């Protein structure tokens, strides 16, 4: 959050980020149930897919890059192109990492956060329990 917001606005970003995982398990089934009353499951799937794609595209267009190594690599490439001098390089450009290395690093980071950060564990447990109850109820209640 520190690279997306200035110090004075950081609380608002954290509030939104903390609210979404708590509201999604409650609002998603209600929206789907409201849609299923009027249309088939295919429309629900299509609307969800369209909304997800629209939000992803909007984020891709409007959000700026915040990862320091990527920003430095882009800046070095711009300097090389502008000056014609190949002496400008970012530190990460010299590291040969495969996609497997990236996946391994990110899975290790996620497991580390899950095991060492109580709030990450609590939100994960809440989301898991919410969806577990949702699917248990939908399996128990007969379809009408």
Q: Is the alpha carbon torsion for 137, 44, 24, 128 positive or negative?
A: positive
* The pLDDT value given to residue 54: 96
117 in Cβ contact with 109 (< 8 Å): no
> For the whole prediction, is pTM greater than 0.85?
no
From 64, 85, 117, give the residue that closes a domain. 64
* The pLDDT value given to residue 35: 83
Three-state DSSP class for 74? helix
* The pLDDT value given to residue 2: 67
pLDDT band with cut points at 50, 70 and 90 for residue 144: low
Same domain, 134 and 110: yes
Specify the higher pLDDT residue, 100 or 48: 100
Give the 3-state secondary structure percentages of the chain, helix then strand then coil, rounded to 5.
80, 0, 20
What's the rounded Cα separation, in Å, for the pair 96 and 91?
11
What's the rounded Cα separation, in Å, for the pair 47 and 24?
16
State which H helix or E strand residue 20 sits in: helix 10-36
- Residue 82's domain spans which residues? 66-95
Based on the structure, what is the number of domains in the chain? 3
pLDDT band with cut points at 50, 70 and 90 for residue 56: very high
- What tens digit of pLDDT does each residue of 1-35 get? 666 778 888 888 888 888 887 787 778 778 888 88
């Amino acid at each position: 959050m520190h690279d997306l917001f200035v110090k004075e606005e950081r609380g608002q970003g954290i509030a939104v980020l903390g609210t979404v995982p708590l509201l999604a398990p409650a609002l998603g089934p209600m929206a789907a149930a409201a849609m299923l009353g009027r249309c088939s499951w295919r429309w629900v799937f299509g609307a969800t897919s369209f909304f997800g794609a629209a939000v992803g595209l909007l984020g891709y267009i409007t959000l700026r890059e915040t990862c320091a190594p990527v920003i430095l690599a882009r800046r070095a490439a711009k300097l090389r192109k502008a000056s014609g001098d190949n002496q400008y390089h970012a530190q990460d450009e010299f590291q040969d990492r495969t996609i497997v290395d990236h996946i391994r690093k990110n899975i290790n980071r996620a497991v580390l956060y899950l095991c060492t950060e109580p709030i990450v564990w609590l939100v994960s447990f809440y989301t898991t329990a919410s969806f577990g109850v949702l699917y248990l109820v939908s399996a128990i209640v007969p379809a009408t």
